Each structure stands twice: as structure tokens, then as C-alpha cells.
Amino acid sequence: MTATPPGRTRRTALVATTCALAVTGAMVLSGCGGGGDDPDAGTNGVGKLPAARIQAKTRAAADAADAVRLSGSVTTSGRTYRLDMRLKADGGSGSVTSQGTAFKLLRVGEELYLKADAGFWNHADGSDGATGKLDGKYVKVPQGDPAYKKFSGFTDKDVLLDGLLTLHGTLAIDGRHTDQSGTRTIRITGDKGSGGTLDVSLQGQPYPLRLVRGGGAGSLRFSDWGKDFTVEEPAASDTVDYGRQLPTS
């Protein structure tokens, strides 16, 4: 058998190593998107769509989700409400603050309950007569009471999101961003932002993550998409009857 010259062996090994490095480098570049610098590599693909399609996709994802948590502020009819609510199809719960007065809402099916401290009821009642009875208790809101229509919307996922997740005016894309939780997002705007802005997740489902409403009408963050939680009626010992029309202001 003829022995291979040492020089040829070294050259052969060098060529093989160089080829292996080249192949590995190409694979790394391809896997990271470095070969073409594809900004949509590793995303859910909505970044390739026009703004109107992105809005439609995010609305569909939000509607299909079983649950969501939203927090922030909403201004309507000249009044600002600060919300921290968890919502799902058959109910919702959380807190609402308006004009320095805070109260909690709980909806189980069609039954709505309001819970507040003495300050809320003193303001609503104009006296302290109801304070001892209602302070820290759940008050069942009759469905025929004007307060039911006003407050139940804060606990209804479909109603609340339908009223919020709409940008007004001409839709456009305003680039890519990183959400505070580290999620990559794409931002769409209505009339260059005057009609609102919406940050949509580029990872996983295209859920809305942050909304700034047009006209300074508040901003909201959305989280815990699809994360279930329990809503149940409060104990009878923790529930009282207000005995008159509830306040809506």
C-alpha cells in the first residue's frame, strides 16, 4: 500500500475543516435570518401584512381567546375610569376607580355585584346612613337599574373589546417595537396616531398588547390572554341589598 504524503494529508484535513465551517456558518445564518436579514424570521408573520389585515387578525385572536386581563384608563363621556379587570365569556372581576373613588365589580353570568368602601357609599348616598350596612359588602345590581347597563360593560369581554379595539381613520404601520415584557410587536395607527395606536404581538398569537386611544381617551395594556380564572357568586353573608337605585356617577 502506498503511503499518503504528510503534506497532502494536512491539505485534505484543512479543506475538510474549511468546508465544515462554511456549511455550519451558512446553517447558522439561515437559522437566524442573517442570510437575508428577514425581519419576520421567528415571528407569527403578521408583520408582512398590511395594517388593515393586521387589525383584522388581532381582533380575531382577541375574540377567540378564552380570557384576558386589561389595565389602564378609559375616558368616556368626559369621565376617566381606571380599570384593572380580568374578563372571560361568562363573567369578569376587577377594580374601577373614577374621580378618586374606587369600587370592585364582579359578574357571574348575568348577575352583577358591586363592592365599595364607606367613602363610595357616603358619596353616593349623600349621608352616612348606609355606610355600616354596605361598607365592604357586595351589592347585587338589579338588571333593570341604570347602574347595571353602565357597569356591566366593564365586566363583559366581548362588549369591552369591541368598543376598544378599533382604530379610527386611515390605517398604517408604524414600525416594530419591543413590548415592556420583552415581546416583539408591530404597531398600527389610525390617522398617524390621532385615531389611536395598537401594538400587536409578533410572537405566538397576534394578540393586542397595548392600546392608546385617539383623542387622549386613555391607554390600556392587555395580558394573560387565554389564562383562565374563576368567578363565583359571593357568599350570602357577604351580600346585601342596597334598597334603592344604585349610583352611576
Query: Tens digits of per-residue pLDDT, 133-151?
Result: 788 889 999 999 888 988 9
> In this structure, are residues 215 and 227 in contact, taking their beta carbons and an 8 Å threshold?
no
User: Taking the mean position of all CA atoms in its chain, how far away is CA 75?
Assistant: 17
Is residue 83 one of the residues assigned to a domain? yes
| pLDDT per position as a tens digit, 179-217 | 888 999 999 999 999 999 999 999 999 999 999 999 999
Is residue 27 one of the residues assigned to a domain? no
Q: Tell me which of 114 and 135 has the higher pLDDT.
A: 114
Is residue 7 one of the residues assigned to a domain? no
Is residue 37 one of the residues assigned to a domain? no
Q: Quote the CA–CA distance of 153 and 163 in Å, as a whole number.
A: 10
- Domain of residue 147, CATH code: 2.50.20.20
Q: Which domain holds residue 191?
A: 47-240
Q: Residue 101: which pLDDT band, with cuts at 50, 70 and 90? A: confident
Amino acid at position 233, single letter? E
Let me know how many helices (H) and strands (E) the chain has, helices first. Answer: 6, 12
Q: Domains in the chain: how many in total?
A: 1
Q: Whole-model pTM above 0.85?
A: no
At 175 the three-state DSSP class reads strand
Q: Of 52, 58, 61, give the one whose Cα is nearest residue 173.
A: 52
Is residue 208 one of the residues assigned to a domain? yes
Task: Please calculate the CA angle 52-55-58 and round it to the nearest 5 degrees.
Answer: 150
Is residue 229 one of the residues assigned to a domain? yes
Q: Tell me which of 131 and 114 has the higher pLDDT.
A: 114
Is residue 31 one of the residues assigned to a domain? no
> In this structure, are residues 63 and 158 in contact, taking their beta carbons and an 8 Å threshold?
yes
Is residue 221 one of the residues assigned to a domain? yes
Amino acid at position 22, single letter? A
Q: Quote the CA–CA distance of 62 and 71 in Å, as a whole number.
A: 15
